[in-house]
Amino acid sequence: MDFVEIGGVKIEKTAALAPMASVADHAYRTVAKGFGAAYCVGEMTSCKGLCYSDRKTAELLTVTDCERPMAVQLFGAEPEFISKAVKIAEQYRPDIIDINAGCPMPKIVNGGAGSALMKTPELFGEMIRAAVESTEIPVTVKIRKGWDDLQVNAVELAKIAEQNGAAAIAVHGRTKQQLYSGKADWDIIKAVKQAVSIPVIGNGDVDSVESCVGMYRYTGCDLVMIGRGSYGRPWLFGQIRDYFDDKTLRPEPPLEERLEIMRRHIELLCEDKGERTGIKEARRQAAWYIKGLNGAAKLRFQFGSMNTLADFYDLIEQIKGEL
C-alpha cells in the first residue's frame, strides 16, 4: 500500500471521503471509514459561529478515533476570525484543519466565503496564512477549478496556498457556476499537481474503482477524494482499497448485504441525532441505497414517508420479502 503524507499525517493512497455539508456527518464518516476510506473531512464549520460559541457549530468539530485520520473544515472570510476558530478547533484534536474555498452555495458565497475566496486571491492567502500561524496542526485548503469558465484560477490559487504554508490542496474539477453539473475537468487537477510541490488531492466524477485509478493515472494527484460517487455505496471505499492492496476487483454486494449496511448506517444516524431528526435525514440516505432497484420509485416514496425506526425496519423486511 502506498501512502501520502500531509504535514506529517500518513494517509493510505486509496480514496478519501469528501466534506459534504448535511451528508458526510459522523454516521456517514463512520460507515465509510469502516469500509476503508483513507481519510475523512468533516462538515464545514463557520469560523464566526465557533467564535460566538454556537453549540451546533461546535458539534460539527467532534472527531472520534474510528474516523482518523480526519480533518475538520472551517469556512469564513475574515482572517481574525479564522485565527480564533483554529484555536478552538484544536481542542477537538483533529489531525488536519481544512479551509473551505470551494463551496458554491449562495448562503456561503454571499458572505465572501467558500468559492467567493477564489475571486479574492489576496484574502485567500491571508486566510491560509492566519490559520497556519495559529496552529501546529497541518492546514490544507479545498478549492474549485475557478469561479466560471472565464475565471479559471486554480493554479494561481494553489501557488498562493503553498506560499502561505498550506500542507496540501484539494481541487474539485468544476467551477463555482457549474455547481455539480457537467463534467469535472481533470486537466485542471493535473495542472495544479504540476504547479506545486505540496500534495494535491483530486476530486470530481470518481464513482468506481476504474475512475479512481483513472484519476490517479491521468492527473498524477497524490490522493483521490470521493463525494457524491459514494452516495448509498460506502462499500466503494473498500472496493478501491482491495484493488490497491492486491488488485482484487470486488463486485457490488448483494441486495441483502446492502440492506444490512443501510440499516447500520441509519441506526448510527438515529443514535447520533435522535430518532426524530435521524429518520428525517435517513429518508434521503435510504433513497440513495435503493437506487437502481426494481420498484425504486415506489420505495423512495415509502422511505420518504417514514417517521420512526419501526417504519424503517418494516420497509427493510418488505424488501427482503420480495427477494
User: Which amino acid does the sequence have at 102?
Assistant: G
Tell me which long-range contacts 267-270 makes (C-beta under 8 A, separation of at least 24).
267/309, 268/26, 268/27, 268/30, 268/31, 269/25, 269/27, 270/309
Helix (H, G, I), strand (E, B) or coil at 91: coil
Positions marked active-site:
103
Question: Residue 228 corresponds to which cell in the numbers above?
Answer: 457524491
Residue count (the chain): 323
d(CA 274, CA 127): 36
d(CA 14, CA 37): 8
User: Which amino acid does the sequence have at 270?
Assistant: C
Residue 97, classified by CB atoms within 10 Å of its CB into exposed (0-12), middle (13-18) or buried (19+), is buried
Question: Residue 68 corresponds to which cell in the numbers above?
Answer: 482518523
Instruction: Report the helix count and the strand count for the chain, using DSSP H and E.
Output: 14, 10
